[in-house]
């Protein structure tokens, strides 16, 4: 991976190159940004990043740029992107992992860059079509409100709002619609009548597509981008509009999340609720009366004599699913997840038979739907139920394929097939149904080939940026997971841009030398003693990050008991909605938050409220995670070392994300404590310790650490 001086790819078209010095001048001393922003301070590292991004645009490179907190990466890619889009009349896609960043780009950063450049740019934040109201579906649903009695008020409220809304976008609704109501009125590609729709001219989707067609900058999330890439790879090609208008350059911000976003997009799953919902939308019989789209279609079909078969076929599906769940539970015993693989294949036998029976029952029902639909004459083909049925059929067909794929798992090695046993929340647990339900999952083993063929090889330039892409100062792990390592050397430019924040002065990193090792029985008890002491030392202001919810709950309980007299709020993930928890954590300076999962990377709280981050254990993925196990096995099979090639770098990146919660502004100050001695005592620990910013480090007994933390946080003030 390195730099190149030229590229033949642009020879055919006349391209206006970016002048990187001119572009950098906008964010230099005496530049346009300095003139409009009184607190502006030039950041050398931001200028350097911007110049590298200009170079990647000019030379058609794939730029992988790790930029620490405070580098100012959004301006560093927005300025070249906007200049390029204007000069070359091109579209640039900016894809992010979170809605927060999309909003920040569209509401703050792009308008600010427009001011700096003194140029207006056409830009749009585009969401997946399911986020917008479909006026036709809304009208149809509202016209049969008596069928959905409990949702009458809600649909009416949505309808009143849609009459006034200029966008029809769910995120702009002043209330949160229920999942049930929303899925009856949102836009669905299979249910869209396009030009034949009576609402075509006033359709929110058509309007937003038109805007996207004329926009130069389109901000999307990774998920929507993958939906577009998938349709292009499946035949739509790269020249015309598909889910998105055509484009040849992408900027991935929050690029550390590409693998998990692509994995989630290309995964399939199925449980009894998914199936029951679709089946009952098509056909249900209550007190001798039949309802559903199939009944509405049968009225117009010359094959209406087939309708009575629906009752028996839908019952067969329900029975088949019940049997499938029974065999899954027999198989799983006390496990929550179980992978179908060589070692479990024999035990999976009865389950696979049940899956085959369910696939057949579902297939018979979809055949019946098709037969009844085929009997509808051309002039009646636009009745609303026909469009709804198309959308439901597509999903039922995908379930049949998923069930059949379980049976073909040995041939379809590109996916991992696994089961998950989950428990219904008490409010949804109706007495007659089992509180446990099984989800069947199909997850891609590897998304690197797809990224290579669908993104890196097709795009002229791709910029991937994030604060955490490397592990142990090495991009190899991220590159191998995302397909970058398949791309010829000269096309890829990888660089790190360190945070300009004064970590040496403002961050203390401590590991208690008297902590037991995590595998020792006394470890959890020790954590339950240590965490309250550290919280007292920092007078609250602490985010405690766990890798397991069980450990979180136990530590939280003992902390609440031990710190009865503590004034600050002690909260844990799950007590409330994540956004509200974070708001309270931010506003109550002395509060403490116990968290796991998304909080390792989703917390951005500058100031004193977050003065201490406690990382309880190095964040290794649990070794019995089915997808992780399959990925590890694939590495071992090709002669690699899965611990060093997958477990360690993945954990290092997550560890860096956890540490990154502490210093969000240049004047933030505080401590990171890792209660896991393996960082200093195991050979692989060096990969973690050398991924840290340069800061003050101590490895001493807990009692010494608590004193030093207290002095570090409070005496400097
Ligand atoms: S054009 Fe499609 S999305 Fe728009 S209102 Fe009609 S059916 Fe709905």
Q: What is the pLDDT of residues 159-199, one digit of tens each?
A: 999 999 999 999 889 988 998 899 999 999 889 999 999 99
Q: Is the CB of 702 under 6 A from ligand 1?
A: no
Segment 337-361 shows an average pLDDT of 96
Q: Give exposure, 532-550, as e/b (b: 16+ Cβ within 10 Å).
A: bbbbbbbbbbbbbbbbeee
Q: How far apart are CA 401 and CA 421, in angstroms?
A: 21
**Which of 140, 133, 274 has the alpha carbon at shortest distance from 204?**
133
**pLDDT at site 2:** 36
Rounded to the nearest whole angstrom, what is the distance from the C-alpha of residue 170 to the centroid of ligand 1? Answer: 16
* 135 CA closest ligand 1 atom index: 5
Most confident of 86-90, 96-100, 484-488: 86-90
Q: Which two tokens stand for residue 239?
A: 């020249």
Q: Is the CB of 187 under 6 A from ligand 1?
A: yes
54 within 8 A of 82, measured Cβ to Cβ: no
Q: Which two tokens stand for residue 457?
A: 């090889």
Rounded to the nearest whole angstrom, what is the distance from the C-alpha of residue 222 to the centroid of ligand 1? Answer: 24
* 137 CA closest ligand 1 atom index: 8
Q: How far apart are the first and last CA of the chain?
A: 45
Nearest CA to ligand 1 atom 4: 203
9 pLDDT above the threshold of 80: no
* 197 CA closest ligand 1 atom index: 6
* 200 CA closest ligand 1 atom index: 1
Q: Is the CB of 200 under 6 A from ligand 1?
A: yes
Q: Is the CB of 199 under 6 A from ligand 1?
A: yes
The 3 state secondary structure assigned to 325-347 is HHHHHHHHCCCCEEECCCCCCCC
Nearest CA to ligand 1 atom 7: 192
Rounded to the nearest whole angstrom, what is the distance from the C-alpha of residue 362 to the centroid of ligand 1? Answer: 28
**pLDDT at site 198:** 93
**pLDDT at site 11:** 46
Q: Is the CB of 208 under 6 A from ligand 1?
A: no
64 within 8 A of 461, measured Cβ to Cβ: no
Q: How far apart are CA 57 and CA 462, in angstroms?
A: 8
Nearest CA to ligand 1 atom 3: 134
342 Cβ contact list (under 8 Å, min separation 6): none
Cα atoms in the 13 Å half-sphere on the side-chain side of 454: 19
Rounded to the nearest whole angstrom, what is the distance from the C-alpha of residue 135 to the centroid of ligand 1? Answer: 6
pLDDT digit string, tens, across residues 83-95? 999 999 999 999 9
Q: Is the CB of 135 under 6 A from ligand 1?
A: yes
| Residue of 189, 193, 201 to mutate, ligand 1, most atoms within 8 A of C-beta | 193
**pLDDT at site 431:** 53
Rounded to the nearest whole angstrom, what is the distance from the C-alpha of residue 129 to the centroid of ligand 1? Answer: 10
**pLDDT at site 5:** 38
**pLDDT at site 3:** 36
Rounded to the nearest whole angstrom, what is the distance from the C-alpha of residue 370 to the centroid of ligand 1? Answer: 23
Q: Is the CB of 129 under 6 A from ligand 1?
A: no
525 pLDDT above the threshold of 70: yes
| Residue of 140, 190, 192, 384 to mutate, ligand 1, most atoms within 8 A of C-beta | 192
**pLDDT at site 1:** 38
pLDDT band, residue 10 (cuts 50/70/90): very low
| Residue of 132, 159, 167, 194 to mutate, ligand 1, most atoms within 8 A of C-beta | 194
Sign of CA dihedral 701, 706, 707, 711: positive
451 Cβ contact list (under 8 Å, min separation 6): 258, 262, 482, 483, 484
Rounded to the nearest whole angstrom, what is the distance from the C-alpha of residue 390 to the centroid of ligand 1? Answer: 14
Q: How far apart are CA 706 and CA 710, in angstroms?
A: 6
Q: How far apart are CA 158 and CA 184, in angstroms?
A: 11
Nearest CA to ligand 1 atom 8: 134
460 in helix, strand or coil? coil
Segment 449-465 shows an average pLDDT of 96
* 134 CA closest ligand 1 atom index: 8
Q: Is the CB of 148 under 6 A from ligand 1?
A: no
* 194 CA closest ligand 1 atom index: 1
588 within 8 A of 609, measured Cβ to Cβ: yes
Q: Is the CB of 205 under 6 A from ligand 1?
A: yes
Q: Is the CB of 40 under 6 A from ligand 1?
A: no
**pLDDT at site 598:** 84
pLDDT digit string, tens, across residues 399-454? 999 999 999 999 999 999 999 998 876 666 655 566 789 999 999 999 999 999 99
Helices then strands (H, E): number in the chain?
29, 20
Rounded to the nearest whole angstrom, what is the distance from the C-alpha of residue 132 to the centroid of ligand 1? Answer: 10
Q: Is the CB of 203 under 6 A from ligand 1?
A: yes
Place of tokens 């002229």: 460
| Residue of 135, 162, 167, 183 to mutate, ligand 1, most atoms within 8 A of C-beta | 135
**Where in 135-270 does DSSP place strands (E)?**
217-221, 249-252, 268-270
Rounded to the nearest whole angstrom, what is the distance from the C-alpha of residue 190 to the centroid of ligand 1? Answer: 10
Angle at 535 between CA 529 and CA 539, to 5 degrees: 145
Q: Is the CB of 136 under 6 A from ligand 1?
A: yes
- Longest CA span, the chain: 85
**pLDDT at site 427:** 61
Q: Is the CB of 192 under 6 A from ligand 1?
A: yes
Q: What is the C-alpha R_g of the chain?
A: 28
**Where in 513-599 does DSSP place strands (E)?**
542-545, 570-572, 592-595
566 pLDDT above the threshold of 80: yes
For the chain, give the number of residues. 717
pLDDT digit string, tens, across residues 355-385? 999 999 999 999 999 999 999 999 999 898 9
pTM of the model as a whole: 0.91
**pLDDT at site 12:** 52
Rounded to the nearest whole angstrom, what is the distance from the C-alpha of residue 161 to the centroid of ligand 1? Answer: 17
455 pLDDT above the threshold of 80: yes
Rounded to the nearest whole angstrom, what is the distance from the C-alpha of residue 126 to the centroid of ligand 1? Answer: 17
| Residue of 128, 200, 202 to mutate, ligand 1, most atoms within 8 A of C-beta | 200
Considering the chain, what is the average pLDDT of its residues?
Answer: 92
Rounded to the nearest whole angstrom, what is the distance from the C-alpha of residue 187 to the centroid of ligand 1? Answer: 7
Nearest CA to ligand 1 atom 6: 197
Nearest CA to ligand 1 atom 2: 192
* Cα separations in angstroms, 552 against 366, 518, 572, 652, 674: 46, 14, 8, 21, 15
123 pLDDT above the threshold of 80: yes
pLDDT digit string, tens, across residues 655-714? 999 999 999 999 999 999 999 999 999 999 999 999 999 999 999 999 999 999 999 999
pLDDT digit string, tens, across residues 232-243? 999 999 999 999
Q: Is the CB of 134 under 6 A from ligand 1?
A: yes
Phi first, then psi: what are they for 132, rounded to 5°?
-115, 150
Q: Is the CB of 197 under 6 A from ligand 1?
A: yes
pLDDT digit string, tens, across residues 124-149? 999 999 999 999 999 998 887 665 56
| In 375-429, alpha helices (H) | 384-407
* 387 CA closest ligand 1 atom index: 7
509 pLDDT above the threshold of 90: yes
Strands 612-615 and 570-572: unpaired
| Residue of 129, 136, 202 to mutate, ligand 1, most atoms within 8 A of C-beta | 136
């Amino acid at each position: 991976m390195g730099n190149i001086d030229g590229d033949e790819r642009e020879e055919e078209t006349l391209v206006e190159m970016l002048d990187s010095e001119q572009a950098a001048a906008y964010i230099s001393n005496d530049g346009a940004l300095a003139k409009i922003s009184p607190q502006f301070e030039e950041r050398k590292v931001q200028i350097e990043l911007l110049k590298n991004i200009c170079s990647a645009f000019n030379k058609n490179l794939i730029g992988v740029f790790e930029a620490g907190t405070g580098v100012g990466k959004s301006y560093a890619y927005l300025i070249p992107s906007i200049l390029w889009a204007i000069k070359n009349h091109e579209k640039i896609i900016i894809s992010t992992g979170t809605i927060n960043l999309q909003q920040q780009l569209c509401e703050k950063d792009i308008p600010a860059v427009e001011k700096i450049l003194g140029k207006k740019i056409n830009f749009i934040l585009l969401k997946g079509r399911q986020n917008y109201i479909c006026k036709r579906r809304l009208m149809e649903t509202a016209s049969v409100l008596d069928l959905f009695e409990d949702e009458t008020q809600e649909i009416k409220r949505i309808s009143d709002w849609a009459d006034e809304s200029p966008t029809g976008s769910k995120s702009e609704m002043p209330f949160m619609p229920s999942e049930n109501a929303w899925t009856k009125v949102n836009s669905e590609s299979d249910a869209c009548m396009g030009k034949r729709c009576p609402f075509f001219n006033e359709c929110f989707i058509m309007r937003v597509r038109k805007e996207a067609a004329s926009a130069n900058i389109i901000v999307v999330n990774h998920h929507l981008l993958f939906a577009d890439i998938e349709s292009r790879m499946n035949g739509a090609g790269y020249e015309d509009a598909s889910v998105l208008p055509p484009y040849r350059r992408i900027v991935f911000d929050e690029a550390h999340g590409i693998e998990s976003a692509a994995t989630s997009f290309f995964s399939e799953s199925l449980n009894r609720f998914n199936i029951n919902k679709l089946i009952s939308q098509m056909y249900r019989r209550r007190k001798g009366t039949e309802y559903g789209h199939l009944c509405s279609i049968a009225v117009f079909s010359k094959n209406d004599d087939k309708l009575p078969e629906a009752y028996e076929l839908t019952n067969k599906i329900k029975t088949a699913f019940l049997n499938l769940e029974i065999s899954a539970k027999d198989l799983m015993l006390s496990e929550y997840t179980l992978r179908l693989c060589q070692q479990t294949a024999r035990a999976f036998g009865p389950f696979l038979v049940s899956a085959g029976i369910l696939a057949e029952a579902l297939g018979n029902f979809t055949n019946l739907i098709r037969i009844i639909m085929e009997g509808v004459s051309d002039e009646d083909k636009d009745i609303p139920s026909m469009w709804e049925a198309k959308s439901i059929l597509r999903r039922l067909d995908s379930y049949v394929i998923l069930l059949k794929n379980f049976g073909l798992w040995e041939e379809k090695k590109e996916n991992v097939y696994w089961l998950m046993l989950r428990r219904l929340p008490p409010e949804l647990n109706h007495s007659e149904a089992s509180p446990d339900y099984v989800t069947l999952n199909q997850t891609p083993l590897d998304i690197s080939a797809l990224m290579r063929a669908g993104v890196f090889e097709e795009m002229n330039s791709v910029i991937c940026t994030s604060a955490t892409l490397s592990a142990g100062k090495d991009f190899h792990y991220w590159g191998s997971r995302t397909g970058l390592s398949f791309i010829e050397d000269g096309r890829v430019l990888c660089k790190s841009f360190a945070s300009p924040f004064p970590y040496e002065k403002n961050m203390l990193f401590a590991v208690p030398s008297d902590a037991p090792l995590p595998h020792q029985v006394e470890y959890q008890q020790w954590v339950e003693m240590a965490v309250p002491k550290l919280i007292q030392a920092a007078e609250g202001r602490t985010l405690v990050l766990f890798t397991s919810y069980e450990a979180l709950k136990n530590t939280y309980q003992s902390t609440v008991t031990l710190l009865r007299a503590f004034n600050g709020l002690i909260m844990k993930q799950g007590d409330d909605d994540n956004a509200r928890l974070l708001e309270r954590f931010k506003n109550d300076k002395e509060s403490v938050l116990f968290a796991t999962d998304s909080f390792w990377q989703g917390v951005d709280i500058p100031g004193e409220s977050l003065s201490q981050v406690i990382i309880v254990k190095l964040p290794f993925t649990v070794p019995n995670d089915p997808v992780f196990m399959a990925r590890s096995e694939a590495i071992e099979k090709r002669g690699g070392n899965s611990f060093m090639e997958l477990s360690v770098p993945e954990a290092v990146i997550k560890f860096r994300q956890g540490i990154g919660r502490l210093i969000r502004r240049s004047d933030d100050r505080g401590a990171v404590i890792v209660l896991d001695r393996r960082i200093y005592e195991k050979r692989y620990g060096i990969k973690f310790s050398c991924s840290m910013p340069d800061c003050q480090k101590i490895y001493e007994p807990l009692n010494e650490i608590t004193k030093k933390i207290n002095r570090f946080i409070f005496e400097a003030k």
